[in-house]
Chain A
Amino acid sequence: MGAALRRHGWSYLFVLPTFALFVVFTLVPVVQAFVLSLQSARIVGGEFIGLQNFVTLAEDPVFRQALGNTVLYSAVVVAAQLTLALVVASLIQPLGPRSQTFYRALFYLPLVNSAILVAMVWRWIFNANPYGLANTVLGVFGVQPLLWIGSSDQALAAVILSAVLTIPGGGVVLYSAAMSSLPRELYEAAEVEGAGALTKWWYITVPLLKPTTLYLLVVYTILAFQVFERVYVMTNGGGPNNATITIVQLIYSTAFQFGRYGLASAMAVVLFIMAVAVAVVQFRSLRSDVEY
């Protein structure tokens, strides 16, 4: 033991700060989240109650609403983000290096801003008043002003639209990088066969980009599952009438406004399982991937 420590002491010293912090503030808390989810933890005290919290969640219409909203939001937003990123990256690809750099920067600039600030702007755009910008745009097409975030029927659509209307700059950058390393030979062979640009794109480019698509699918889905700031700001935390409530918003209010830490931890465990499930699906489909 002493000899090993002398020999490897420096190595352990190099990893010690990070690893100690990681254990205390990530590893232990993950385990604790599971333990808390089995307890009736409130502001003080709490005892082991088995799976009771999960039973409560399964029967709670608000949690079911939050789960449904989160899944719907994620499905629509992620599908839109992947499509937009792929199309924009494909359009950028044939351009010269200077144009490519310019467009990548253009699409990434909106993303350096915080979710809070972006949500504040969208709240302003989607407000129910006639001077709201979204309503003005509709007016151009002859549509009467909508209530948007003021209506429980339209609020979730406004939240989803606010996410869809931003080009996913990170995905554009990753797709661009992947496209520039695709093998030229396949395209040359296809050109000999007389394939057009669109045929080549659909039958060569898109399939070869599958690893990037899967990676982005997982990252964007897990990010979408965590949607919080958008509803915290745009709809005052999930309103009206819980029409836009999401899992993380409900975790926040259940724990830090109502002090029901055990129940909120059970929701966090559900979120954790959703994220892991998505990551596992990616891992498995990557393993079955054909190398080129």
Chain B
Amino acid sequence: MSSIRRRLPVHLVLLAAGLLSLFPLYWLFLTSLSPAQYVVKVPPEVVPRELTFGNYQRLFDTTPIVRWLVNTVVIAGVITAFHLLFDSMAGYAFAKRRFPGKNVMFWLVVSTLTVPAQVTLIPVFFILRAIGLLDTYPGVIVPGLADVFGVFLMKQFIQTLPSELEHAARLDGASEWQVYTRIILPLSKPALAVLAIFTFNRYWNAFIFPLVILRDPAKYPVQVGLATLQGEFNTDFGMLMTGAAVAAIPMIVVFFAFQRYFIEGIRVGGVKG
């Protein structure tokens, strides 16, 4: 009790900083729930007097937001599923197996970790145009499988696993594929969870790449869709904030459900903000 009282000033500072950080989110939800006349009120009301779902009704009636959300789930979901499989396979090979060329390959992969994604944007656009994948779902998904953060993450984790179980399984006659599926994968669950959360979050929020690759608004993921709403409802902030709220809710739910994996993911090397 006395420690809480002694630390009260620290708690107050931290809470104030946290609330400041969260304030844009609060303002977003508040505006989305406010009747139109309150949105442009001078001065704006920070504590609501009246709430309504009118903006939500209007959003769902007049925009393809549901379609955009479904697109995002599909795009981010497929990318995440493939990353779980491919990154754990490659991470296992780089962590545990010996083969000619391994160091060169790993060095090449790691050296591109700091390359800004926009550097490859134009060439990838050309490649997709050449193979006819512009404005298609595979065009957005396949290049997303090339990012190597997950390989690095899985290698770091699998390295820490003891090798005895693999050896024992081989002595029992397990094939190399079985060693991977029956020994490595089950032991890697914590790292796979981190990878899944991070990858899904990252591609849920992806913007510039789908913006460049997709033309047909029916194929847009929600972030690109939101940006087009910005053009359409330029000063209708109630509507814009409602669109943003609908895009924010799924990630906030995911965050509360899998909080510790987010924190763990940053520690193993994924600062994104």
Contact = CB atoms under 8 A, between A and B. Distances in A.
Interface centre among B17, B201, B205, B271 (most CB of A within 10 A): B271
Contact of B227 (A12, A14, A174, A233): A233
A271 B27 CA distance: 34
Contacts of B151: 18
B127 A25 contact: yes
B23 to A, nearest CB: 8
A60 B94 CA distance: 46
A275 interface: yes
8 contacts: A11-B102, A14-B92, A18-B90, A26-B148, A110-B24, A117-B244, A131-B40, A261-B122
Given A25-B124, A113-B205, A124 B27 contact: yes
B43 A170 contact: no
A contacts with B: majority SS: helix
B14 A91 contact: yes
Contact of B205 (A30, A104, A114, A124): A114
B5 interface: no
Nearest to A81: B273
Nearest to B238: A124
Interface of A: 4, 8, 10-12, 14-15, 17-19, 21-22, 24-30, 32-33, 36, 84, 88, 91-92, 94-95, 99, 103-118, 120-125, 127, 129-133, 136, 139, 165-171, 173-174, 177, 216, 218-220, 222-223, 225-226, 228-229, 232-233, 248, 251-252, 255-256, 261, 264-265, 268-269, 271-272, 275-276, 279
B127 A24 contact: yes
Contacts of A167: 17-18, 20-21
A19 B122 contact: no
A139 B43 CA distance: 9
Given A114-B247, A171-B271, 18 more contacts: A12-B99, A14-B89, A15-B90, A18-B151, A27-B112, A30-B112, A95-B10, A106-B14, A108-B255, A110-B21, A114-B251, A120-B240, A127-B237, A173-B263, A173-B266, A223-B272, A226-B117, A268-B119
